[in-house]
Amino acid sequence: MGKFAVEVIEKDEKTVKLKFKGVPLQILNALRRAALEYVPTMAVDLVVFRDNTSVLHDEIIAHRLGLIPLKSDEALNKYKSPEECVDVKPEESLDCYAHLTLEASTGPDEVKDIYSGDLKPVTDPKVRPAYDRIPIVRLGPRQSIALDAYARLGRGVEHIKWSPATISTVTYLAQINVDVSKCNLCGKCVEVCPREALAIEGNVLKTYEDRCIICRQCVRVCPTEAIDVTHKEDEYILTIESSGALRPERIVFEALKIVASKLDMLLSRLELIVKAEVRG
Partner 1 sequence: MVIFPVRCFTCGSVIGDKWEYFVNEVKKGRSMKEVLDELGIKRYCCRRMFISHVDLIDELVRYSRKV
User: Residues interacting with partner 1, by CB under 8 A?
Assistant: 51-53, 55-56, 60, 64, 67-69, 111, 116, 130-135, 137-143, 160, 163, 166-167, 241, 243-244
Q: Is 205 in the site for ligand SF4 (CB under 6 A)?
A: yes
Considering CB distances under 5 to 8 angstroms, the limit depending on partner class, which of ligand SF4, partner 1, none binds residue 214? ligand SF4
- DSSP, collapsed to helix, strand or coil, labels residue 150 as strand
Identify the H or E element spanning 263: helix 248-279
Considering CB distances under 5 to 8 angstroms, the limit depending on partner class, which of partner 1, ligand SF4, none binds residue 179? none
Q: Is 186 in the site for ligand SF4 (CB under 6 A)?
A: yes
Cβ atoms of 77 and 95 closer than 8 Å:
no
Alpha-carbon distance values, 92 to 47, 95, 99, 250 (Å): 15, 9, 10, 30
Those residues whose C-beta lies under 8 Å from the C-beta of residue 28, and which sit 6 or more positions away, are 20, 170, 236, 238
CA geometry: angle 194, 36, 11, nearest 5 deg? 60
Single-letter residue type at 157:
V
Distance CA 200, CA 109 (A): 67
Distance CA 219, CA 237 (A): 23
Q: Which is nearer to partner 1, 207 or 239 (CB)?
A: 239
Shortest Å, Cβ 167 to partner 1:
6
Considering CB distances under 5 to 8 angstroms, the limit depending on partner class, which of partner 1, ligand SF4, none binds residue 146? none
Considering CB distances under 5 to 8 angstroms, the limit depending on partner class, which of ligand SF4, partner 1, none binds residue 166? partner 1
Shortest Å, Cβ 133 to partner 1:
4
Shortest Å, Cβ 225 to ligand SF4:
8
Distance CA 189, CA 212 (A): 12
Q: Which is nearer to ligand SF4, 215 or 256 (CB)?
A: 215
Q: Is 149 in the site for ligand SF4 (CB under 6 A)?
A: no
Q: Is 184 in the site for ligand SF4 (CB under 6 A)?
A: yes
Alpha-carbon distance values, 104 to 130, 246, 257, 270 (Å): 20, 29, 42, 56
Q: Which residues are annotated as a binding site for [3Fe-4S] cluster?
A: 212, 215, 218
Q: Give contact residues for ligand SF4 (rule: CB under 6 A).
A: 174, 176, 178, 183-189, 192-195, 197-198, 205, 212-218, 221-222, 224, 226-227, 229
